[in-house]
Amino acid sequence: MDKRIYIIVALAVIAVILTIVRESSNNSASSFSLMSSTKQQVSGDRVYRMADTTLRALGIKKENIRPIKNRNDIRVLMPLSFDPIFFVRAMKDSLENIQAEIISIENAKEKTSIVQIKNGEVIIKSFIFSKEPATTAKKGVSPSVPKKQTR
């Protein structure tokens, strides 16, 4: 027989052996993990504490974070320079190993942003972000009242 046939057969056998070794090592490696693959359940109070800490780290004053009575909602008055996406990013990192997802909704008409922490279809907490009212010195007629024009 030709030498080339022996080489082809030997290479085919080696390929089969390497494939078997690779598949068996993938199965054993995937079953071993240092960290738990199951995500933890989370309560609304824990999410509130995490969010409170995150908001304060982002520069929101404590008096601007107010829970709404008898609801899962938290109203957050934010400075004009604050963007709620900072909160979403920080909370996403905090919720990485927790069984929850974060959803953000922008309401341009009401000029608010709503960030919801959900577990499946259940809303754990909602954070309603609205801009702090701008404090301006009122001199004369306020800008919202049109001035009368003389003819």
More confident residue, 147 or 57: 57
pLDDT score at 69? 85
Q: Tell me what pLDDT residue 3 has.
A: 86
Q: What is the pLDDT of residue 42?
A: 75
| Per-residue pLDDT tens digits for 37-95 | 567 777 778 888 888 888 888 888 889 889 888 888 999 998 888 888 888 888 888 88
| C-beta of residue 60 within 8 angstroms of C-beta of residue 76 | yes
pLDDT at residue 128, as a whole number: 92
Identify the structural domains of the chain with CATH numbers, from first to last: 44-131 (3.30.460)
Question: Three-class SS string for the chain?
Answer: CCHHHHHHHHHHHHHHHHHHHHHHHHHHHHHCCCCCCCCECCCHHHHHHHHHHHHHHCCCCHHHEEECCCCCEEEEEECCCCCHHHHHHHHHHHCCCECCEEEEEEECCCCEEEEEEEECCEEEEEEEEEECCCCCCCCCCCCCCCCCCCC
Q: Average pLDDT for residues 120-135, to the nearest whole number?
A: 82
